[in-house]
Amino acid sequence: MSKAKKVWLLSFVFLVSLTVLAACGGGKNAEQPTPNQEQPGTENTGGTTEQGTTENISGSITVAGSTAMQPLVEKVAQMFMEKHPQVQITVQGGGSGTGLSQVAQGAIDVGNSDVFAEEKLKPEETKDLVDHKVAVVAMAAVAHPDVGVDNLTKQQLIDIFTGKITNWKDVGGKDQKITLVNRPASSGTRATFKKYALDGAEEASGIEEDSSGTVRQIISSTPGAIGYLAFSYLDGSVKALKIDGVEPTEANVVTNDYKVWAYQHMYTKGEPTGAVKAFLDYMMSDEVQSGPVVEGGYIPISKMKVERDAQGNVTQK
């Protein structure tokens, strides 16, 4: 092959190569992807991914039981419904026994109780119940502010509630008749107070009222009255009494130095699902435990330095 032909062949190959490169976009002016064009191996962040969407929760939930728990559950229910407008939650009182029996029968979704189900129901009624402990509540013996007493021994407290002591002067107070304000048999507050403040002694008859708010009103407006309320209902209108010199405070409850306390239980029949599960999970969230639980006078379970079982056995955490 002559030298001229070699030069012509090399030039032809070079021109063909340039044409192929331009067609493949390898040139400097090749078409660039548009800003929103998804490229292989990259994530499209222009919209909400499936993982980032909010679960659409809907349905109705009926809750009933402990009146000591009622302010807390009502507050949290309202917060939950604001976050999930398609959920409707109805919160009722009636006492722990009522809440436990109704949830065991399947009449309601959640039964609120100040006591373990084993303390109120028969074994066959508790077998399907699932316990969700959401907080701790403590109860104080409370009296009209003018009785002239701020401390009672446990024995004096027992003697007052069993009717053996009927005048405040017998325990160092005013010469004034003692008026008992009791709770009905279905009340978890009554069961807790009877077990841990009265050592199981049976209360004498007196004014009987289920609602904690009404109990507070009666005691605050009745000279010589005494009863008991959850810490969450103490507002200065009644006098909270020390027992054996131990003040009813959170600091004394978490160590079990003050022993009149109970878990706040929310029982379901079987493991909860759907909106009920979401609501109970929300009850245990930091938002609720450090918000309404503390603000309402309840104690977050995480603060307790002891644990107690249905038989009353206490162990250190």
Model pLDDT for residues 10-68, shown as the tens digit of each residue: 444 444 444 434 444 444 333 343 333 333 333 333 332 233 334 689 999 999 998 87
Residue type, 245: G
Determine how many CB atoms are found less than 10 A away from the CB of residue 135.
Answer: 28
Q: Are residues 161 and 299 in the same domain?
A: no
DSSP annotation of 146 reads: T
Q: How confident is the model at residue 297 (pLDDT cuts 50, 70, 90)?
A: confident
Model pLDDT for residues 64-119, shown as the tens digit of each residue: 998 878 989 999 999 999 999 999 999 999 989 999 999 999 999 999 998 999 99
Q: Are residues 190 and 218 in the same domain?
A: yes
Domain count across the chain? 2
Residue 183 belongs to some domain of the structure: yes
Query: What pLDDT score does 188 carry?
Result: 78
The last residue of one of the domains, among 211, 233, 254, is: 254
Q: Are residues 234 and 293 in the same domain?
A: no
Which CATH number characterizes residue 221's domain? 3.40.190.10
Return left, alpha or beta for 59; rule: phi > 0 is left, psi -120 to 50 is alpha, else beta.
Answer: left
Reduce the DSSP state of residue 158 to 3 states and report it: helix
Query: What pLDDT score does 1 carry?
Result: 54
Residue 63 belongs to some domain of the structure: yes
Cβ contact 75:82 at 8 Å: no
Q: Are residues 131 and 153 in the same domain?
A: no
Residue type, 76: V
Residue 5 belongs to some domain of the structure: no
Query: What pLDDT score does 23 carry?
Result: 44
Average pLDDT over residues 132-158: 97
Query: What pLDDT score does 191 carry?
Result: 86
Model pLDDT for residues 248-291, shown as the tens digit of each residue: 999 999 999 999 999 999 999 999 999 999 999 999 999 999 99
Please check the confidence at residue 6 and state whether its pLDDT lies above 50: no
Helix or strand run (H / E) with residue 193:
helix 188-196
Residue type, 227: G
Measured CA to CA, the distance from residue 255 to residue 131 in angstroms comes to 23
Residue with tokens 């450090």: 290
Query: What pLDDT score does 285 carry?
Result: 97
Reduce the DSSP state of residue 155 to 3 states and report it: helix
Q: Which two tokens stand for residue 188?
A: 């978890």
Q: Are residues 148 and 125 in the same domain?
A: no
- Domain extent, residue 76, equals 57-135+262-309
Measured CA to CA, the distance from residue 277 to residue 30 in angstroms comes to 56
User: Taken in order 30, 35, 37, 42, is the CA torsion positive or negative?
Assistant: positive
Return left, alpha or beta for 250; rule: phi > 0 is left, psi -120 to 50 is alpha, else beta.
Answer: alpha
Instruction: Output the pTM of the full model.
Output: 0.73
Q: Are residues 159 and 224 in the same domain?
A: yes
Model pLDDT for residues 208-235, shown as the tens digit of each residue: 998 889 999 999 999 999 999 988 888 8
**150 vs 188 pLDDT, higher one:** 150
Model pLDDT for residues 175-213, shown as the tens digit of each residue: 999 999 999 887 878 888 999 999 999 999 999 998 889
Q: Which two tokens stand for residue 263?
A: 């878990």
Q: Are residues 181 and 229 in the same domain?
A: yes
Q: For residue 180, what are the β-bridge partners?
A: 226
Reduce the DSSP state of residue 315 to 3 states and report it: strand
Query: What pLDDT score does 107 carry?
Result: 98
Query: What pLDDT score does 186 carry?
Result: 75
Please check the confidence at residue 122 and state whether its pLDDT lies above 60: yes
Measured CA to CA, the distance from residue 79 to residue 175 in angstroms comes to 48
